[in-house]
Amino acid sequence: MWEFGMVDMCGETCQLGGKIAIMKSIRWRPGWGYWIISGCLYVHHLWGVDAQWKDAQSWSYQLQNADIDQLAQDPSFDVVVIDYSGDGSAEEQYSADEIEKLKTAGKIPLAYFSIGEAEDYRWYWNPAWTTSPESARPAWLAQENPHWPGNYLVKFWEEEWKSIIHKYLSQIEAAGFSGIYLDKVDAWYDWIASGIRTDPVQPAVEMVRFVTLIKSWTETLREGGMILVIQNGETLINEDVINESMIGNWMDSIDGVGTEDLFYFGDQEMDNPFQPDEYRLGILEEYVKRGKRIFSIEYLTESSSKWHFYKLAKSYGFVPLVAGRPLAEPAHGVKIVEKLTWNQQKLHHSTIPGRAYRIIRSQSIQSESVQVTDWHSSDDIVYEPDFSEETGFFRLEIDLFPAQSAAP
The tens digit of pLDDT for each residue in 271-286 reads: 999 999 999 999 999 9
Judge if the upstream peptide bond of residue 320 is cis by omega within 30 degrees of 0.
no
pLDDT of 141 strictly over 80: yes
Q: Write down the pLDDT at residue 106.
A: 93
DSSP codes of every residue in 271-338: ---B---HHHHHHHHHHHHTT-EEEEEE----HHHHHHHHHHHHHTT-EEEE--TT--S----EEEEE
Lay out the sheet containing 141-144: strands in order across: 117-119, 151-154, 141-144
pLDDT tens digit string along 378-403?
A: 333 333 333 333 333 334 444 443 33
The pLDDT assigned to 27 comes to: 31
pTM: 0.76
Longest dimension (CA), the chain: 75
Compute the mean pLDDT over every residue in the chain, rounded to the nearest whole number.
76
Fold classified for 55-332 = TIM Barrel (3.20.20)
pLDDT at 25 over 50: no
pLDDT of residue 331: 79
- Are 302 and 309 spatial neighbours (Cβ–Cβ below 8 Å)? no
Burial label for 31, CB within 10 Å (0-12, 13-18, 19+), is: exposed
| pLDDT exceeds 90 at position 234 | yes
- Residue ranges per structural domain of the chain: 1-47, 55-332, 333-408
- pLDDT computed for residue 403 by the predictor: 36
> How much of the chain, in percent, has pLDDT values that exceed 70?
69
pLDDT in tens, 84-118: 999 888 899 999 999 999 999 999 999 999 999 99
Give me the numbers of helices (H) and strands (E) for the chain, helices first please. Answer: 9, 20
Does residue 347 have a pLDDT over 80?
Answer: no
- φ, ψ (nearest 5 deg) of residue 175: -75, -15
Q: Mind listing the pLDDT tens digit for each residue in 175-203?
A: 999 999 999 999 999 999 999 999 999 99
For residue range 38-50, what is the model confidence (pLDDT) as tens digits?
A: 223 223 233 468 8
Residues 213, 251 contacting (CB under 8 angstroms): no
Between CA 295 and CA 273 the distance in angstroms is 20
CA distance 290 to 284: 10
**% of residues, the chain, pLDDT over 90:** 58
Coil, helix or strand at residue 143: strand
